[in-house]
Amino acid sequence: MKDLQTSDLPFYRPVADECDVFETAHANGLPLLLKGPTGCGKTRFVEHMAARLGLPLHTVACHDDLSAADLIGRYLLKGGETVWVDGPLTRAVREGGICYLDEVVEARKDVTVVLHPLTDDRRRLVMDRTGEELEAPKPFMLVASYNPGYQNILKKLKPSTRQRFISIGFDFPAPEVETPVVMRESRLDEARATALVRLAGKIRALSGMDLEEGVSTRLLIYAATMIARGMAVDRAIEAAIIEPLSDEPDVQQALRDLAAVIYG
């Protein structure tokens, strides 16, 4: 483990004992699943913990077309000859690093077949194309995340996959935690950061409105950054919160009205 000062790490404000759970999982070779809404800090948490443990981090943003070959590797033509190029999962296994699969539920189904031998006591990566079978070294860790709120019948993490991981649930932080995070990341003053966090709380509490999710901490930081750089509050909220949350004119107007109440 690298001898790093806290100030050298990617900033993350712990909410509970998630750092202890991560470290215990890593020390015992256990895969970890992070569950929570978009923009609540899952990726930053993994970046923080990788730096804290002094481990290389390979992050993969999963999508509809992500296949097992994208993770393991493939033969490519280079300089007139065919050479094997490791994918991010293979590199993490060889190096003894962390492979983080962000929104793993979005990946193709053949990906889970590759992951299963790495998420039990075998801790092995089977590479059919090269005939290799790599045993993951002790420092290697598999971390995945997904947003349960976006699951549907076609894209759902199977129970047989979920039960191969230990899991931490994430949510948007309480105001007393979120406000200092917004302040630190944007350099916005406390009064205006507090007002933004209050607005986010009101939006997240709305019901019966066509919003798939409430405003994320990430969007709050975007809005706060623009305000801190001199943009008018109403314009920053429009660009960083209202427009990203909905395309529906009536919903957008309701959000404007709510912001007007907060900002008087």
Residues 109 and 36 in one domain: yes
Residues 26 and 110 in one domain: yes
Residues 112 and 229 in one domain: no
Please write the tens of the pLDDT for every residue from 14-23: 999 999 999 9
| pLDDT > 70 fraction of the chain, expressed in percent and rounded | 94
Average pLDDT over residues 237-241: 97
Angle between helices 175-186 and 190-204 (to 10 degrees): 130
The pTM is what? Answer: 0.88
Residues 161 and 49 in one domain: yes
Report how far Cα 86 is from the mean position of its chain's Cα atoms. 23
Strand segments, DSSP code E, in 97-221 are 98-102, 124-127, 132-135, 141-146, 166-169
Q: How many domains does the chain have?
A: 2
Would residue 1 count as lying in a domain?
no
Residues 162 and 258 in one domain: no
What is the DSSP-derived secondary structure letter of residue 136?
P
Please write the tens of the pLDDT for every residue from 126-154: 998 899 999 999 999 999 999 887 655 45
Range of the domain at 10: 6-169
Q: H or E stretch including 83?
A: strand 81-86
Would you say residue 194 has pLDDT above 90?
yes
Q: Which of 202, 206, 240 lies closest to 223 in space, CA to CA?
A: 240
Residues 137 and 13 in one domain: yes
Q: Are strands 81-86 and 73-78 parallel, antiparallel or unpaired?
A: antiparallel
Of 3 and 60, the structure prediction assigns the larger pLDDT to 60
Residues 148 and 189 in one domain: no
